Each structure stands twice: as structure tokens, then as C-alpha cells.
């Protein structure tokens, strides 16, 4: 399931963070590529652990921790420290699947990548191309979101980024290990959560909301790894 999460960052946050991103040092993005993707990856990244990446990564994690839609959709257990990339001058990233396991730099911890996330820092009007294309069982979804918005997709998906032929596409990208490993289970819980919220909005204090909330938590209890 591909989920768009709007307004993770405010316009003011995007402007301030882009100013910091422009001051950072950018290196060849192949530093974090796996054996297979190294041949098709062509972009720039800020090195992991760079002070700007750390500072902005913290701000992104804080914003995500307060975003109800992100929390409901991802049910995050661990989030990889956000990385930053930039595509311009025809740069692209060919079709690949993200590595299943990622070592968190500078720690003994590893995360399993259940969900991949891209947070956009440039508005679609600023560049041509640069669409994130995610293949799922219903075909290819093409994603290019306003600055400050995020897309979540299953890390099991084949995906690519089309060449940026004008301007620059600047994004943050990272991975999430969810409490719910299975994408189908996670999607069911997300749909149930949204339905309960709609029920509560349309029919406040409806007794079914209590029992459905019980069902939600009991499914979470069955399926969650914490």
C-alpha cells in the first residue's frame, strides 16, 4: 500500500531546512547503495553523520512523531536516521529494491526495512522529471509531492526515480521497521483505525466505536513485534 502523508513539515520548516541543506557537503550517492543498485544509482547525498544530516534528521523524526496519519499508517518500531539526496542535470535512479536490513551508522543496531519513505523538499514546479515510480500489484504509481509532504511505500516494491531534466529534486529518504511486519496486516489496521475515526466524527459516543477500538487493539496485540 502506498500512502501519502501531507504536511509533515510546514512551509517555514522547509525553507529553513533547505537553507541548511544548501550549506552542506554533497557526495556521490553510491556510498549507501547495495551491490545491485550501485550500477543504476546516479545522485548526490549528504554523508550519513554529517552535522546537517543529523540536525535535520532529528527535526524530521520529531515532526513524524507528532503526525497522527504517519503513526497510524506506519506503526513505527524503529526509524532509520533520515538521509538526504539531490538529483539534477539528468540524474536518475534505475529500478531496484531497497536492502532488507540496514545497519544504523555508528551503532550496533540494525533495522529491517518494512517501509520506505521519501520526504520532498522541492515543489513539483521547481523541477521536471524526478518522479518516484513504485510498482505494485495494480501497476506503477508515479509520485511527485509538494514540499513538506511524504510518501510511504512497502520496501518490498521495485521502484525507480526518473531523470531530472530541469532544476533539482531534493528529498530526504529513510526506512521504517514497523511493529507490524506484514504489509497486508498493517493495511487492515490502518483502514480500521481510519474507519473508527470517521465513526467517532460522524456519530460521537456510538457504542460500536468502543468495540471496534477493542478489535483494533486486540489485532495489534496479536500481530505486533515490540
**Cβ neighbours of residue 69 closer than 8 Å, sequence gap 6 or more:** 3, 5, 6
Residue 58 has phi, psi (to 5 degrees) of -60, -45
Angle between helices 51-65 and 11-23 (to 10 degrees): 160
CB of 33 to Ni ion, least distance (A): 9
Cβ nearer to Ni ion, comparing 41 with 189:
41
CB of 96 to Ni ion, least distance (A): 6
Sites of contact with Ni ion (CB under 5 A): 98
CB of 86 to Ni ion, least distance (A): 15
Cβ nearer to Ni ion, comparing 129 with 189:
129
CB of 159 to Ni ion, least distance (A): 6
Inter-residue long-range contacts of 107-112, CB under 8 Å, 24+ positions, other chains counted: 109/78, 111/78, 111/79, 111/80, 111/175, 111/176, 111/177, 112/177, 112/181
Cβ nearer to Ni ion, comparing 40 with 165:
40
Cβ nearer to Ni ion, comparing 100 with 194:
100
CB of 131 to Ni ion, least distance (A): 14
Cβ nearer to Ni ion, comparing 140 with 194:
140
Amino acid at each position: 500500500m502506498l500512502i501519502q502523508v501531507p504536511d509533515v513539515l510546514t512551509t517555514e520548516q522547509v525553507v529553513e531546512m533547505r537553507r541548511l541543506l544548501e550549506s552542506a557537503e554533497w557526495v556521490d550517492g553510491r556510498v549507501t547503495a547495495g551491490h545491485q543498485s550501485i550500477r543504476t544509482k546516479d545522485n548526490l547525498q549528504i554523508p550519513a553523520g554529517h552535522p546537517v544530516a543529523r540536525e535535520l534528521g532529528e527535526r524530521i523524526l520529531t515532526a513524524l512523531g507528532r503526525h497522527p496519519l504517519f503513526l497510524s499508517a506506519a506503526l513505527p518500531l524503529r526509524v532509520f536516521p533520515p538521509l538526504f539526496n539531490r538529483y539534477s542535470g539528468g540524474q536518475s535512479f534505475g529500478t531496484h529494491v531497497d536492502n532488507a536490513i540496514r545497519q544504523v551508522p555508528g551503532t550496533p543496531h540494525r533495522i529491517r526495512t518494512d517501509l520506505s519513505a521519501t520526504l520532498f523538499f522541492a515543489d513539483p514546479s521547481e523541477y521536471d522529471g524526478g518522479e518516484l515510480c513504485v510498482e505494485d500489484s495494480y501497476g506503477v504509481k508515479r509520485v511527485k509531492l509538494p514540499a513538506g509532504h511524504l510518501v510511504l511505500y512497502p520496501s518490498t516494491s521495485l521502484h525507480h526515480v526518473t531523470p531530472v531534466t530541469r532544476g533539482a529534486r531534493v528529498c530526504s529518504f529513510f526506512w521504517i521497521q514497523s511493529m507490524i511486519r506484514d504489509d497486508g496486516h498493517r493495511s487492515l489496521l490502518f483502514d480500521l483505525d481510519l474507519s473508527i475515526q470517521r465513526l467517532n466524527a460522524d456519530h460521537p459516543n456510538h457504542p460500536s466505536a468502543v468495540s471496534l477500538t477493542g478489535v483494533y487493539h486486540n489485532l495489534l496485540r496479536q500481530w505486533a513485534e515490540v
